[in-house]
Structure 1
Amino acid sequence: MTDTHQRATDALSIQLYSLRAELGEHRAQTLERLAGLGLARVEPYDILSDPAQLAHELTSAGLVAPTAHVKLLDAPLDDAMSAARTVGVETLIVPWAEPALFQDRAGVASLAERLNAATGRAADAGMRVGYHNHEFEFSARIDGTSAWEVLVDLLDERVVLQLDTYWASVGGADVFELLPRLSSRITAVHVNDEKPEADDPPTLGVPVVGRMPEVTALARDIGALVVVEVVVDGDSWPAIERNTQFFAEALS
């Protein structure tokens, strides 16, 4: 592996939900196979079930998990931080909040309050809290502004942002404007180079499909971790392998 390729894969991760079926009975082997693709980082979506075993399997595969999706709005924060400490997770990212919260300022404020409280406690433990968007945070409007922007304004600046670039664009965002403007707060981006599903909603913002090299370059420029998430029917490995190679080359 060349030094350039190694630097590229150091900036690349994969959301393990992409391989959720394979992880059920063959997690250790799946992690080994991901490491065989040159990956050094992964993003778990469940660190609470068996953190000690997950930590062991990650170490055995030579992988680390600097970020993880954790349902902090549903799980006790102390349990989540304990699991994160065991697995080696530094940033706990809330993957979902109820869309109804984004219908008015009061709902967004209540979410921000909970995230801010969690981030204060996590900071005391040397960890960070983050938030991962879908499309509805951007498509919902509050006084003419996207609910996502309202949320960002209300969040403690220590709450980091994981920008799902496709869903942000579907919801109405201009990812090419957001990434540089919020470069100090966006610490990770979710990407894939797959064609949209037939039942995906229409894109209301600036499309990112077909422009992933540009998105990746912007993410690299701001120092964000590039996290691949591929959700396909059937065998996921061909898409995982292709996307890993695509984004490693884009980061080179």
Structure 2
Amino acid sequence: MTTGQPLGIQLYSVRDDIGPADLGGTLARLAGFGFTHAEPYDILTDPDGLGTALRNAGLHAATAHASVVRHAVTDILDAAEALGIGTVITPYVDPGSIADRAGVERLAAALNSAAELATARGIRIGYHNHDFEFAQLVDGVPAYEVLTGLLDPAVVLELDIYWAGVGGADVFELLPRLGDRVRLLHVVHEREPGNDRPVLGVDATGRMGEVLALAGPGIELPVVEVVAHHSDVWPLVERNAAYFQGLVNA
């Protein structure tokens, strides 16, 4: 089953089912829920095997998570090129590494340098937030604000709506202000009961229709991420898939 509009799934959502023997069946199951894209979180271990499994499942990987801080940029770009991935996103940094302006400047420099190399190969570099970029203040403002002010426009943003709210952000203010720098969204509607972090800002997970409308046509791909630690993740994935298919195809 396919949707009329692209809809992605971060494969970390089903990480417990992605082993060498389970990858193909896991991807096929996700495609059966209507996802058109898969966002891998490991493109370095076995890019050939991953590419084959994606093709067999009929899924496209337009984006992937791979940290330019933790891995050699050339290795990341080689794997992305082999897989046809157009955007490689640094998904996480140590919160302590951006606790002051010098740390944020080092991160921005790493992302900008990687983007320069990537652009020459037709690939984009991106950054994905968690909560701490908004909760931690640098020079009196959220570290995320400092970081985005230092990033080259070539570095795109994948805004995680849930984590931004947990960090204290108002995504309905943030999205219009960032404008077309936000090219990708991490979204979730239904989360695992009892496994939620307190939302200090605006909880937009129940208002995802408003979020997608506000983000507008500049958003290339909404990517569902569902994390479950204490229950079977598949029912959550299936219900989130149905919910977001209804939104993107409305």
Which of 203-212 and 92-101 deviates more? 203-212
Where do residues 123-162 of structure 1 align in structure 2 (5 Å cutoff)? Answer: 123-162=119-158
Which of 36-45 and 210-219 deviates more? 210-219
TM (norm. structure 1) is 0.93
**Aligned-partner Cα distance in 2 for 1:51–1:240:** 25
**Aligned-partner Cα distance in 2 for 1:89–1:209:** 28
Which of 83, 87, 92 aligns to 1:91? It is 87
**Aligned-partner Cα distance in 2 for 1:231–1:59:** 25
* Pair 1:182 & 2:195 matched: no
Equivalent position SS for 1:182: helix
Judged with a 3 Å threshold, the aligned counterparts in structure 2 of structure 1 residues 207 and 181 are, in CA distance, closer, same or farther, namely: same
Structure 1, unmatched stretches of 5+, are: none
Aligned to 2:237: 240
Equivalent position SS for 1:166: helix
**Aligned-partner Cα distance in 2 for 1:80–1:123:** 13
Paired residue type of 1:186: V
Give CA-to-partner distance per residue, 1:80-116, whole Å, 9 cap, x none: 1111111111100001111012221111001101111
Aligned to 1:17: 12
1:179 Cα deviation (Å)?
Answer: 1.5
Q: What's the RMSD between the two structures over aligned residues?
A: 1.6
Count of residues in Structure 1 that have an aligned counterpart in Structure 2: 247
* Pair 1:212 & 2:189 matched: no
Paired residue type of 2:14: L
**Aligned-partner Cα distance in 1 for 2:96–2:131:** 13
**Aligned-partner Cα distance in 2 for 1:42–1:18:** 11
Contact 2:192 2:236 in 1 (8 A): no
TM (norm. structure 2) is 0.93
Aligned to 1:173: 169
Paired residue type of 2:152: D
**Aligned-partner Cα distance in 1 for 2:220–2:210:** 14
**Aligned-partner Cα distance in 1 for 2:122–2:217:** 25
Give CA-to-partner distance per residue, 1:166-206, whole Å, 9 cap, x none: 11011111111211222211111111112466464432212
1:38 Cα deviation (Å)?
Answer: 2.1
Aligned to 1:32: 28
Paired residue type of 1:148: Y
Which of 179-188 and 240-249 deviates more? 179-188
Equivalent position SS for 1:6: coil
Which of 218, 221, 226 aligns to 1:225? It is 221
**Aligned-partner Cα distance in 1 for 2:3–2:99:** 44
Equivalent position SS for 1:210: helix
Judged with a 3 Å threshold, the aligned counterparts in structure 2 of structure 1 residues 196 and 178 are, in CA distance, closer, same or farther, namely: farther
Q: Percent identity?
A: 49
Paired residue type of 2:12: Y
